[in-house]
Structure 1
Amino acid sequence: MHGPNGAHRAGHAVGEAESVAADQEQPLGTPGKPLDRRSPFFTGLAAAAGVVVTVAVVEVVLAASDVLLLIGIAFFIAVGLEPVTARLTRRMPRALAAALVVTTGLGVLAATVAGAAVPLSEQIKQLSGGTPRYLAQVRDPGTLLGRANEVFGLEAAVRSIHGADVAQSVAGVLGDAVIVVVLSTYFVAGFPRIRTALYRLAPRSRRPRVILIGDAVFHKVGAYLVGNVVVSLIAGALTLLWLWAYGVPYPLVLALLVAVLDLVPVAGSLVAGIGTTLVALTVSVPTGLATAGFFVGYRVLEDYVLLPKIVGRAVRIPAVVTVVAVLLGFTLLGVVGAFVAVPVAAAVLLVVREVAVHRLDRA
């Protein structure tokens, strides 16, 4: 506790300050000198606050990673649909153009699914009915599937799949798909405002160059998305014709699998080719070898003819960068990461070349 002398000194100090305050001409006094923000106290306080904010941001990102991933996919799709929407906007309001683009895309998808539903369900039933025969071949060491089972453990991998888990995964995928469709619709409708808001974050002196680089990035992403979907549809159609011609069972199921997996660069077509070849081997060894040759030939056709013609040279990046980007994307975000790896890598290379390398050349 403070003694009488201490209380007297405190009262005197406050009284002196009150006298000075009463003599001030301004109602609230004259502002004093600003505090020294370079002092050790403020430096330590700012550092501690920075650590706390950084940790909080990381925690929020990790907690909302699934939602942020869906938002990223929706924005990615919106960027891909922007060229078509922009053309329609010249003839109709933006909201109507966005609704027309999204509705048309969903309509084409629904019509495709409806048209393939009956033969697809029949082939799935045939595949389920033929399971005992394939299981016998897998367990027979004298067959090619049996030797593959000994090397890769095919039977154990199939038995590890449970129906309840598959149903739960399908339900989750459908729910995420609905969210992505809704978000994509909003992003497509408001893309000009989103683009303007992003560019306003850049300093005014550098904004023109940021706009040019940003539009180039959007162009790469959009060209890749639309082109990759078209190429995957071609892959599925050619596979369907090949399998029908050679009498390979379940052609529609396998062609649909090839079209979906072909969306993933490098690894997708490889996995689809191996799986389809294994099914073709159940017909005969020559049919299996011919199917393997078909996928090798199609891989060359896609890499050197279809992708340059449909996607364009603007998105093409070195092969080693593609492989590294796909591996990193798959490790970080799974199949979605592998799908977006190529346009993201192309965008990063563009930014590095136009910003970092340009500064190094001038240094």
Structure 2
Amino acid sequence: MDEDEHSEADDYRLAEQGHHRRVGRPHSYDEGTIVDAERIAAQLRSDNPPLGARGRRLDRHAPFHIGLMASAGVAVTYGVVRLLGTASSVLILVAAAMFFALGLEPAVSGLVNRKVPRGAAVSLVIAAVFGVLAAMIVAAIPPLVQESRQFIEQAPHLLQEAQNHSSAIGRLNERFHIQQRITGMVDSLGTSTVLRAGQTVFGALSDVGIVAVLTIYFLADMPRIRATTYRFVPNSRRPRAILLGDEVMAKIGDYVFGNILTSLIAGAATFAWCFFLHVPYALLLGAFVAIIDLFPYGSTVGGFVVALAALTVSVPVSVATVGFYIVFRLAEDYLLTPRIIGRAVRVPGGVTVVAVLIGAALLGVVGALVAIPVAAALQLLVSELLFPTLDDA
């Protein structure tokens, strides 16, 4: 081995130290000049500061900076805003897919670190995710079919009870005109409403399919996406950007993994509670709570649904179910979340609530879902970039 080959191998090993072990694996020479930046990033990494010292300020008198500021007029800015507004629905789907891809990236890179090819690692992770979803759907179908069959069989009896003025249902129907209200509601819906509902369901399923496909593509091509993104950063600031960017992506992955883990715990606790108290459809309710708990404060909504289902057993069981979810909510907020998610994102509780409210107001369900990792990323950037600048001012 000559001196140049030896130097190149040493540079690559040093660059490997600057490459985040849970993001964009495997590391290769195909990343081009990013390898050089990661070699410098490995030299910047230390215990204090762990993400490298701040780089020098941008030259505000540089020709590129002056030209960029001069060209960014009101018309251009207005056009960009209008363009983003027009494509907002598509951009939300793309952002959601990238969020899920970043969430699954630590699992893929973990397999790559164990000598699994990236293509096989992506296939294994995607197969595991879709396998869990398919298992939940398969578990939910039999209870739904059974419940629908029971309702169809009991419908004539319920109709007779509603027309019997001596029964409790009949007295309620006579007092509140329930049958007339339901009939009028069905008549008022009409064909157009049914068509709109069908279009809404079809659109939602299409959006889910688009997000799933984009997530797979983003996850498979994450090393190239990562390298290309860092190429937009000036070379003098690229090592620092790599350290900060990889840390942000790792936090998103930790949040998604922790969120899934706490949701599985919520689903398992729901199943156990319903099973031992003989609440019907324990498996279906557990799966429902596990899915809805993926969203902030979803277990509260899930607990309300389970409490309604517990009314079919008895009122005391329903009241006990409400108490169970109050205790579980406190345990999730002050025990599970701090231990599982809090160590990764390190976002204060007040900031979490505000972030979820703002995210939900801006982007609805997607905004509420990504609010906490976005807040964690902003908190990291503020502490690493803004506060040191203000302290030195």
**Within the alignment, does 1:361 sit opposite 2:391 as a pair?**
yes
Gaps of 5+ in 2: 1-66, 163-167, 177-181
* Structure 2 counterpart of 1:259, from 290, 294, 298: 290
8 Å CA contact 1:124–1:253 kept in 2: the answer is no
1:43-102 superposed Cα distances (whole Å, 9 cap, x missing partner): 9x957x722221221122111111111111111111111112112224243233223322
- Name the residue aligned to 1:95: 119
Question: How far apart, in 2, do the equivalents of 1:360 and 1:204 lie?
Answer: 25
- Write the distance in 1 (CA, Å) between the matches of 2:375 and 2:172: 45
Q: Are residues 126 and 235 of structure 1, via their aligned partners in 2, closer, same or farther at CA, if it must alter by over 3 Å?
A: farther
Given that 2:140 and 2:284 are in contact with CA atoms closer than 8 Å, whether structure 1 keeps it comes out as no
Name the residue aligned to 1:325.
Answer: 355
- TM-score (normalised: structure 2): 0.69
Q: How does 1:98-117 map to 2 (within 5 A)?
A: 98-117=122-141
> 1:120·1:252 contact (CA, 8 Å) conserved in 2?
no
1:250 Cα deviation after fit: 3.7
- The answer to whether the 8 Å contact 2:267/2:290 transfers is yes
Q: Decide whether the 8 Å contact of 1:202 with 1:210 is kept in 2.
A: yes
Q: What per-residue deviation string (whole Å, max 9, x for no partner) do you get for residues 25-44 of structure 1?
A: xxxxxxxxxxxxxxxxxx9x
Structure 1 residue 129 displacement after superposition: 6.9
User: Gaps (5+ residues) in structure 1?
Assistant: 1-42, 147-154
Contact 2:292 2:299 in 1 (8 A): yes
User: Of the candidates 319, 322, 325, which is equivalent to residue 292 of structure 1?
Assistant: 322
In the alignment, the residues of structure 1 paired with residue 301 and residue 194 of structure 2 have an alpha-carbon distance, to the nearest angstrom, of 22
Match of 2:106 among 83, 94, 97: 83
For each residue in 1:183-223, what CA deviation from the matched residue of structure 2 results, as whole angstroms up to 9, or x when unmatched?
Answer: 11111111111111222222222222221111111111101
CA deviation string 1:4-36 (max 9, x = no partner): xxxxxxxxxxxxxxxxxxxxxxxxxxxxxxxxx
Q: Distance in 1 between matches of 2:134 and 2:383?
A: 42
Question: Normalising to structure 1: TM-score of the pair?
Answer: 0.74
% identical aligned pairs: 49
- Determine helix, strand or coil for the equivalent of 2:73: helix
Residues in 2 aligned to 1:69 and 1:99: alpha-carbon distance in whole angstroms = 25
Question: How many angstroms apart in 1 are the aligned matches of 2:212 and 2:154?
Answer: 37
User: Counterparts of 2:352 and 2:369 in 1: how far apart (Å)?
Assistant: 11
Change (3 A) 1:247 1:224: same
Say yes or no: does 1:209 pair with 2:233.
Answer: no
Matches within 5 A, 1:120-269: 120-126=144-150, 164-266=195-297, 268-269=298-299
Q: 1:239 to 1:164 in 2, by over 3 A?
A: farther
Distance 1:186 1:216 in 2: 22
Corresponding position: 1:352 with 2:382:
yes
Q: RMSD over aligned Cα, in angstroms?
A: 3.2
Runs of 4+ in 1 over 6 A off after TM superposition: 127-131, 158-162
**Contact preservation (8 Å) 2:277, 2:317:** yes
Give, in angstroms, the shift of residue 122 of structure 1.
2.0
Shift of residue 347 of structure 1? 0.9
